[in-house]
Amino acid sequence: MSIPVGIFLEIPCADVVEMASLAGWDFVVIDTEHGPIGSAQLPDLLRAARVPTIVRVAAVRNELIQSALDAGADGVLVPQIQSAAEAAGVVAASRFHPAGRRGLNGFVRAARYSLLPMEEYLRRPVRVVIQIETAGALAEVDAIAGLAGVDELFIGPYDLSQALGRPGDVMHADVLGAGQRVIHAAHAAGIAVSAFANSGEAADRWREMGVDRLYYSADVYLLAQAMRATRDGLR
């Protein structure tokens, strides 16, 4: 069964965002956690996107969530969540009243600089994705999945492997077992679950385990590998 597949973008260049969109990815993730991308760059990167675009914020901070959503992101991916209480704070920062306490400004890009009617702006859908990659989040995954306003749980296998004492071994049985626990929690709560993969083997495994969406690799990795493969072929 085919599922939506997206890619992380860490290069702060609108052309790369546009190329990823034109290449046929179902969605893209602008990564401000691991990529050198600041809030001031987000509007131009988002303008270049032709597919749904999520911003991975750099940390669990309300002002970073606010900046991403004001700039027009279709959703936020929030890393390093430690507890259900922290995840609830993310929801509150991402939703307008009565579902949350997101700051309301009708003049930002997301509101078309005041040209979007306020009622429509307030109804504009925002995808809230909580990253499960710490021991604390894993321990409270059922509570996190059950929070009103959480749309998706994302399995971050690299940091999860560290949390489980298997740093970098993202296909270890302990990591996959923890991932299966996240999948069960999400589906029991009736929400989507996704995972990151950086190989065809990993992508196939996560699909077999039941994820609903797949986040595949990153622009920098694919570019570097293509450069090396081309160089090796020419030699």
Do the Cβ atoms of 107 and 167 come closer than 8 Å?
A: no
The domain of 13 spans 5-234
Are 214 and 3 in contact, with CB atoms under 8 Å apart? Answer: yes
* pLDDT(111) > 70: yes
Read off the pLDDT of each residue in 18-36 and give the average, rounded to a whole number. Answer: 98
Question: For 45-56, how does the pLDDT look when each residue is reduced to its tens digit (9 = 90+)?
Answer: 999 999 999 999
Could you read off the pLDDT of 170-213 as tens digits, one per residue?
999 999 999 999 999 999 999 999 999 999 999 999 999 999 99
CA distance 111 to 70: 8
Contact present, 170 and 124 (Cβ < 8 Å):
no
At 1, is the pLDDT very low, low, confident or very high (cuts 50, 70, 90)? Answer: low
Say what percent of the chain tops pLDDT 70: 100
- Per-residue DSSP letters for 92-114? HHHS-TTT------TTSGGGGGG
Please report which confidence band the pLDDT of residue 113 belongs to, taking 50, 70 and 90 as the band edges: very high
- DSSP line for 155-188: E-HHHHHHHTT-TT-TTSHHHHHHHHHHHHHHHH
Compute, in degrees rounded to 10, the torsion defined by CA atoms 183, 125, 69, 94: -60
Could you report the per-residue pLDDT of 54-75, keeping only the tens digit for each? Answer: 999 999 999 999 999 999 999 9
User: Three-state SS for 139?
Assistant: helix
Q: Left if phi > 0, otherwise alpha if psi is -120 to 50, otherwise beta: which for 168? A: left
In terms of phi and psi (left: phi > 0; alpha: psi -120 to 50; beta: otherwise), the region of 31 is beta
pLDDT at 153 over 90: yes
Residue 157: the pLDDT is 97
- The Cα–Cα gap between 127 and 150 comes to 8
78-103: average pLDDT: 98
CATH classification at residue 110: 3.20.20.60
Number of domains the chain is built from: 1
CB-neighbour burial class of residue 3 (10 A; exposed 0-12, middle 13-18, buried 19+): middle
34 is catalytic: yes
Cross-strand bridge partners of residue 131: 154
Instruction: Read off the amino acid at residue 189.
Output: A
What is the C-alpha separation between 117 and 121, in angstroms, rounded?
6
Catalytic residue among 34, 97, 172, 187: 34
φ, ψ dihedrals at 192, nearest 5°: -80, 160
